[in-house]
Amino acid sequence: MSSDGRRKVSRRRFMTETAGAAAALAIVPRSVLGGRGHVPPSETFGGALVGCGGRGRYTFGGLGPNVVRLASCDVKFLDKADNKEVYTDFRRVLERKDIDVVAIATPPHWHALISIAAMEAGKDVLCEKPLTRFIAEGRAVVEAERRYSRIFQIGTYGRFSASRSPGNILTHKIMASGLLKKCEAVHIKRSGLKVQQWSGIVNAKPQPVPKNLDWDMYCGPSPLRPYHPHRTGGTHRGYWDYEGGGMADMGQHHFDFVQWIWAKDDTSAVEIEAHAPPAHPEACAMWGWVELKYADGLTFVMESTEWGKPYDRKRPRGISLGDLSEGNRRKVEAMPDPAPLVDFPTAIRTRQRPGGHAEAAHHSAAILHLANIAIRVGHKIRYDPVTEQVVGDDEANRLVNPPMRAPWHL
């Protein structure tokens, strides 16, 4: 030992030990160390997919590279469920402590209940669109996101690219400023809503339930109808029990980013009018157009181009700084740009609220639900965005918050 109590190390010994350490380091997999293209275990999350149909793998992919799939759940897995990696009951999945993140790709009548249960269980959630089957479910998802401090993102992403456009940013700032007291802008979406494609079958003959399918669990909070294959798979969209036709299937894609552009993530339309034939009580069917007007005058229009006369009540119109007084123009120009939207993979690491959070997703889904309510009741409705009720219309309000089949409830 030397006088300072430390062992002297020869140059040869030093070189030998450091070479050995370098060799050991060289054989450690890059997946352990991290680096470009590799995520270290300390930054990975356990994930589960609930709803393993056509959209499932794409929805799970939206969780990002940090999430490892540990469980798959679907009501069609009766013949293969082991309650270890494969499940039919989402509640068993949510009991697992190693599941951090859940991707939900079931039909929409399950979206709200599974999202709420997952957040209550401490999981973050990426949910397919449309967020919900009816309006009251959306408010319950928003409250769950807030109550349990979880990350929630809807599975449509148009707003992320739209929010980077200088023109869209300017429109957003003008609307968010509150300085444009009377907005005469009109946004019209024509076609692309798959109305006929996602219409239901009327008086379909009941079929035997496949042995691998838990039909009771599939129906869940919706009425327990006789089984027919058209009520499952992608064609489930044609029935009010599970979704809302082409309107609900495509509408959130088409209007979620528009809603951000026009700064309407925290409110809804107040007057909704539809041009459509009488609606069937179970099967979604044809419609022509729906006009949704906001309190400040902004109008959104959906036109199917698949039924009836073309929409001709208003023409498309945008807004610009020229719609403001000189003083208000200067105020808008002085406003900072909105913060960049945070995507889901970043949000689950940083705990920042993502761009398609529950409040925004709820209001973009409400566009579709209000349009469908106007179609189903067959008359113009007036909606209060604060109470989230149709004003003076019991028939319409029954569609805002319809009862669920026991024992399921919000």
User: Domain check: are 192 and 113 in the same one?
Assistant: no
Residue 24 inside a domain? The answer is no
Last residue of a domain, which of 103, 135, 158? 158
Residue 26 inside a domain? The answer is no
Per DSSP, the residues of 199-217 read PPPTTPPP-PPPTT--HHH
CB 266 within 8 A of CB 363: yes
Q: Which pLDDT score, from 0 to 100, does residue 90 have?
A: 98
User: Domain check: are 148 and 261 in the same one?
Assistant: no
pLDDT digits (tens, 9 = 90+) for 245-265: 999 999 999 999 999 999 999
Residue 24 has pLDDT above 50, yes or no: no
pTM exceeds 0.95 for this model: no
What is the spatial distance between Cα 139 and Cα 149, in angstroms, rounded to a whole number? 15
Residue 4 inside a domain? The answer is no
CB 302 within 8 A of CB 289: yes
Mean pLDDT, the chain, rounded, equals: 92
pLDDT band at 5 (very low <50, low <70, confident <90, very high): very low
What's the distance, CA 19 to chain centroid?
Answer: 53
User: Domain check: are 198 and 212 in the same one?
Assistant: yes
What is the spatial distance between Cα 48 and Cα 127, in angstroms, rounded to a whole number? 12
pLDDT digits (tens, 9 = 90+) for 48-58: 999 999 889 99
User: Domain check: are 100 and 142 in the same one?
Assistant: yes
Q: Which pLDDT score, from 0 to 100, does residue 219 have?
A: 98
Range 183-188 average pLDDT: 98
Q: Which pLDDT score, from 0 to 100, does residue 40 have?
A: 56
pLDDT digits (tens, 9 = 90+) for 289-302: 999 999 999 999 99
User: Domain check: are 140 and 283 in the same one?
Assistant: no
Number of domain units in the chain: 2
User: Domain check: are 277 and 172 in the same one?
Assistant: yes
Q: Which pLDDT score, from 0 to 100, does residue 54 have?
A: 87
Q: Which pLDDT score, from 0 to 100, does residue 67 have?
A: 98
If one compares 17 and 347, the residue with the highest pLDDT of the two is 347
368: burial class by Cβ within 10 Å (0-12, 13-18, 19+)? buried
Residue 410 inside a domain? The answer is no
Residue 12 inside a domain? The answer is no
Residue 28 inside a domain? The answer is no
pLDDT digits (tens, 9 = 90+) for 69-88: 999 999 999 999 999 999 99
What is the spatial distance between Cα 283 and Cα 264, in angstroms, rounded to a whole number? 30
Q: Look up tokens 């109808």; give the residue.
A: 225
CB 130 within 8 A of CB 243: yes
Residue 376 has pLDDT above 80, yes or no: yes
Residue 235 has pLDDT above 50, yes or no: yes
Last residue of a domain, which of 124, 143, 158? 158
User: Domain check: are 101 and 243 in the same one?
Assistant: no
The SS3 of residue 223 is coil
pLDDT band at 38 (very low <50, low <70, confident <90, very high): low
Question: Which residue in 232, 223, 320 sits closest to 281, CA to CA?
Answer: 223
What is the spatial distance between Cα 114 and Cα 171, in angstroms, rounded to a whole number? 35
Question: Cβ of 350: how many Cβ atoms within 10 Å?
Answer: 11
**Paired tokens of 26:** 């060289």
Q: Which pLDDT score, from 0 to 100, does residue 220 have?
A: 98
Task: Check residue 247 and report its DSSP letter.
Answer: H
Residue 241 has pLDDT above 70, yes or no: yes
What is the spatial distance between Cα 276 and Cα 285, in angstroms, rounded to a whole number? 9
Residue 9 has pLDDT above 90, yes or no: no
Q: In the chain, pLDDT over 70 holds for what percent of residues?
A: 90
Residue 65 has pLDDT above 90, yes or no: yes
Residue 283 has pLDDT above 70, yes or no: yes
Last residue of a domain, which of 97, 130, 158? 158
List CB contacts of 177: < 8 A, sequence separation 6 or more: 328, 331, 332, 335
User: Domain check: are 248 and 362 in the same one?
Assistant: yes
CATH at 376? 3.30.360
User: Domain check: are 177 and 322 in the same one?
Assistant: yes
User: Domain check: are 256 and 303 in the same one?
Assistant: yes
CB 333 within 8 A of CB 344: no
Q: Which pLDDT score, from 0 to 100, does residue 28 have?
A: 41
User: Domain check: are 370 and 300 in the same one?
Assistant: yes
pLDDT band at 15 (very low <50, low <70, confident <90, very high): very low
Range 172-198 average pLDDT: 97
Residue 14 has pLDDT above 50, yes or no: no
CATH at 83? 3.40.50.720
Alpha helical stretches, state H, 100-157: 111-120, 135-148
Residue 100 inside a domain? The answer is yes
User: Domain check: are 281 and 389 in the same one?
Assistant: yes
Range 156-177 average pLDDT: 98
Residue 89 inside a domain? The answer is yes
Q: Which pLDDT score, from 0 to 100, does residue 34 have?
A: 47
- Type of residue numbered 309: K
Going by their DSSP bridges, the two strands 101-104 and 86-87 should be labelled as unpaired
Which structural domain, as residue segments, surrounds residue 216?
Answer: 159-400
